[in-house]
Amino acid sequence: MGIVNKHTKINRADIYPDHFGRRKFKNNLFLGTVIFFSLITISFVFLIIGTLVVKGYHQINWAFFTQTPPDTFTAMMAKSSGQLIPGGIINGITGTLYLVAIASLIAIPFGILIGIYLYENSSKRYASFIRDITDVLQGVPSIVVGLIVYLWVVVHITRGYSVLAGSTALAIMMLPLIIRSTEEAMKMIPDTLKEAAIALGTPYYKVVLRVLIPTSFSGIMTGILLAISRIMGETAPLMLTTLGNPAINWNITKPVSAVPLLIWQFYNDPNMVDLIWSSTLFLMGFVLILNLLAKWIAAKRNF
């Protein structure tokens, strides 16, 4: 090393001859790998959404939101003469909104009640059993939920494919999500707030209505929006429960269409290919907005 004085630059590798260079290289290599694979992961989001936008935007027009889909022959004629496929997916849009509304009507009240029950009795054995069962229910594949609702509602109640059956299937899938998010949101409420209400002699139902639900409202809302965005694109359970309908339908005991069901039909019909992308773009846009809305509410919450 020669003469060492204060001007000599000392290399760390000279002091620590234990392959520091190699360790540092490995360290950087690993960091590079982590960044590389993370970029691959998030690139899929852009690849998928990008594909939908590029392929779907030119079919989005006024008719798309106001008309029902054309039959195969009309679509084929339009395609062969180089025009846009006429018609739209209004029966699917109304069907999806209808199904989601009925499902929410079933799942939201029950979900919140059960969530409050789990929060209030968190230490009880029975409550923790219910919590485990809720987790099991959340893990049940959507196709199995469809199968079950077919056996329950389609066979025994409406005796045919129906809105009620589809909504029941979606409600069963929403329920665990709402229960868990209600419970989690309530856990964030400071105990002092609840104790203050109880110390004032407030009846228990008022504590729930005036303290628990309002303070955890944004958390519950986030859970509801995420649950709706999850079930909105569900296709498999609807194939077994509502089947589809070429026209708009508001009768709860009759089959109804939904945007994902229409996508599945378009996919199976070579003449309709062009409508696939605009429908998926619409569905994706809707799901995306709900997701971002949920994130925004979650970020704004006080607790």
Partner 1 sequence: MNSDKILKYVLFFASFLILLISGGMLYSLIQGSMLSMHHFGWKFLISSEWNPTKGQEHYGALLFIAGTLFTSILALIIALPMAFSTSLFIGEYFRNTRMASIVSTLVDLLAGIPSIIYGLWGFYILRPFIVSIGLSAQGYGIFTAGLILAIMIIPYATSLSNTSIMMVPNELKEAAYSLGATRLEVIWNVILPNARSGIAASYILAFGRALGETLAVTMLIGNANIIPTGLFSTGNTMASVIANQFGEASGLQLSSLIEIGLLLFVITTLINAAGKFIIKKMA
* Residues 219-258 within binding reach of partner 1 (CB under 8 A): 229-230, 232-236, 239-240
**Which tokens is 146 given?**
């469809």
Q: How far is the CB of 82 from partner 1 (least distance, A)?
A: 21
Q: Is 27 in the site for partner 1 (CB under 8 A)?
A: yes
Q: Is 44 in the site for partner 1 (CB under 8 A)?
A: yes
Alpha carbon 89 to chain centroid distance?
21
Q: Is 99 in the site for partner 1 (CB under 8 A)?
A: no
Q: Please give the Cα distance from 58 to 299 (Å, whole number).
A: 35
Q: Looking at beta carbons only, is 250 or 288 nearer to partner 1?
A: 288
Alpha carbon distances (Å) from 251 to 86, 103, 160, 260: 27, 15, 13, 20
Q: Looking at beta carbons only, is 60 or 77 nearer to partner 1?
A: 60
160 close to 150: Cβ distance less than 8 angstroms:
no
Backbone angles phi, psi at 249, to 5 degrees: -135, 130
Q: How far is the CB of 19 from partner 1 (least distance, A)?
A: 11
Contact track, partner 1, 109-128, x by CB under 8 A: -x--xx-xxx-x-----xx-
Hey, is 77 helix, strand or coil? Answer: helix
Q: How far is the CB of 2 from partner 1 (least distance, A)?
A: 26
Q: Please give the Cα distance from 65 to 281 (Å, whole number).
A: 13
> Between residue 132 and residue 171, which ones bind partner 1 under the rule CB under 8 A?
132-137, 139-144, 147-148, 150-152
- Looking at the chain, how many residues does it have? 303
Q: Is 40 in the site for partner 1 (CB under 8 A)?
A: yes
Q: How far is the CB of 133 from partner 1 (least distance, A)?
A: 5
